[in-house]
Amino acid sequence: MRQVPQYLIIGNGRVARHFQHYFSLLKLTFLLWNRQESTTKLRDNLKRSSHVLLLISDKAIENFITQHLPSSKAILIHFSGSLITEKAYGSHPLMTFKDDLYTLETYQSIPFILDHNAPAFEILFPQLTNQHYRLHQSLKEKYHALCVLSGNFSCLLWQKLFFSFEDEFNLPPNIIHAYLLQQTHNLISNYRNALTGPLVRHDFSTIDKNLNALALDPYQQVYQSFVSCYQQLKKEGQYE
């Protein structure tokens, strides 16, 4: 039989709110504390907790543990994708979290990336059924950098397109949706062959025109960096 945990969620930011909602949808019991509340409440909650989720900023986690949890018997878990520490176990939910809360199905689809030396997922989260995988801590920083590069930075590119359609071209932004959805589908169905466009066609004339059209735009430098990156990867054999 799985242990019935008593979770204490530390923090009140976006991720903390999402996991409060996830646990509520599952009808799990949990306690809450954030830095606007008294340390007396924190101490009382700690006495009743078997698992502490440190859902605060990466830079604050180690100091918080040192200051408030030096002798805690609870299992300490942080959700940072890049932090390497011996003070708590890393369990990174591989998902982007916006202000709107998600459905139970969405939360249950989130994979967790555990530190290689963390306890079994069933010990960290006895009542969750999420997929989970292990990653050696030596790879965490690069893992997180690539997550940011692909997820957050690609968002900047799509936002640039949406803003330009609305503000510069006087086109309805929603007509981009089919393009975005198909590109996403192509990546999911076959990511190795999802890239299209002038880079794949070796259409350097179009690339030059694109770069000229972006003169005085900060995204010209972004475009050129992708061209250079693709050419380097092609030399290394990633793109035949």
Please tell me the pTM assigned to this model.
0.92
Calculate ∠ Cα 65-22-144, nearest 5°: 55
Classify residue 152 by its DSSP letter.
Answer: I
Classify residue 151 by its DSSP letter.
Answer: I
- Range list for CATH 3.40.50.720 in the chain: 7-135
Q: pLDDT per residue over 59-90, tens digit each? A: 999 999 999 999 999 999 999 999 999 999 99
Report in angstroms the alpha-carbon separations of 72 from 46, 52, 68, 75, 127. 8, 9, 9, 8, 22
- Averaged over 37-63, what is the pLDDT? 97
Report in angstroms the alpha-carbon separations of 75 from 71, 72, 101. 11, 8, 26
Fold of 7-135: Rossmann fold (3.40.50)
Helix pair 219-235, 204-213: axis angle to 10 deg: 160
Classify residue 174 by its DSSP letter.
Answer: G
Q: CB under 8 Å to 45, separation ≥6 — which residues?
A: 8, 31, 32, 33
* Number of other residues whose CB lies within 10 A of the CB of residue 49: 22
| Measured distance CA(70)–CA(48) in Å, rounded | 16
pLDDT of residue 239: 87
- Averaged over 205-227, what is the pLDDT? 98
Q: pLDDT per residue over 5-35, tens digit each? A: 999 999 999 999 999 999 999 999 999 999 9
Q: Are 20 and 30 in contact (CB under 8 A)?
A: yes
Q: pLDDT per residue over 143-202, tens digit each? A: 999 999 999 999 999 999 999 999 999 999 999 999 999 999 999 999 999 999 999 999
Q: Give the CATH architecture of domain 141-235.
A: Orthogonal Bundle (1.10)
pLDDT of residue 4: 80
Classify residue 118 by its DSSP letter.
Answer: S
How are strands ordered across the β-sheet holding 132-135?
Answer: 30-33, 7-10, 51-54, 75-78, 89-93, 112-115, 132-135
- Range list for CATH 1.10.1040 in the chain: 141-235
Average pLDDT, the chain: 96
Q: Is 11 left (phi over 0), alpha (psi -120 to 50) or beta?
A: left
pLDDT of residue 1: 43
Residue 2: band (very low, low, confident or very high) from pLDDT cuts 50, 70, 90 = low
Most distant CA pair in the chain: distance in Å? 68
Question: Looking at the predicted structure, is the pLDDT value of residue 100 above 70?
Answer: yes
pLDDT of residue 3: 58
Give strand pairing partners of 53. Answer: 9, 77
pLDDT of residue 151: 96
Q: Are 53 and 8 in contact (CB under 8 A)?
A: yes
